[in-house]
Amino acid sequence: MSTLLVPYYEHPAVRPAEWDAIVAAAPRLNGVVLNPADGPGDRPDPAFAEVAGRLRAAGGARILGYADTGYGRRAATDVVRDLARHRDWYGTDGAFLDQVPSGPAQFAHYRRLADAARAVGCRTLVLNHGTAAHPCYAHVADLLVTFEGPWEAYRAPLPQPWPTGPDAPQCHLLYGVPPGADPAGLARARGAAVYCAVPGTGDHPWGTLPHSLETTS
């Protein structure tokens, strides 16, 4: 399985060349996160449906539907509704759940949410904590995002993990990565089985592609 997960939050009608590059790379990707409208939106988007179909035909990458969990404040029924829409409209394989707390206090909520996600067809479940996560979450997820932040912060010592590290594979999401850097090597050294590293900065770094997928358009 590839080590590169791609969350790309741009519309295919606006950035067709970039989506073409993602589809072409799909056989060597770990996964692609679909995020039409901070979730699936209120109705199917034909452009995203077309891209999802091309990704499935290309094979390799798992297609993950984005859903915001609001650090446990968003109702589980709303999150599961989003995941069911992703499945029905875009044929997703799993879910990328964003804004997940790192501590154990809300684990029971996420355990129930994970069970509900599996029940609506999520074969792969990614939890984005963005920082070191309590190992309990490894019992319900296939991949834990335990770092999300800028390259300069990633190069510094990371926060200490919880006393016993999670058993689920870890993913690190990096932005502001300059050309010529070696994010893959540093991710391996920091114990991440999966990563993404993009050049973008500011409020919307995930509107840029990893250097290895960049287009010339």
Q: What is the pTM of this model?
A: 0.95
Structure tokens at 206: 């995930």
Three-state SS letters, 63-104: EEEEEECHHHCCCHHHHHHHHHHHHHHHCCCEEEEECCCCCH
φ/ψ bin of 142: left (φ > 0), alpha (ψ from -120 to 50), beta (otherwise): alpha
Structure tokens at 53: 């179909």
Structure tokens at 48: 């995203």
pLDDT tens digits in sequence order for the chain, 217 residues long: 589 999 999 999 999 999 999 999 999 999 999 999 999 999 999 999 999 999 999 999 999 999 999 999 999 999 999 999 999 999 999 999 999 999 999 999 999 999 999 999 999 999 999 999 999 999 999 999 999 999 999 999 887 788 777 778 999 999 999 999 999 999 999 999 999 999 999 999 999 999 989 875 5
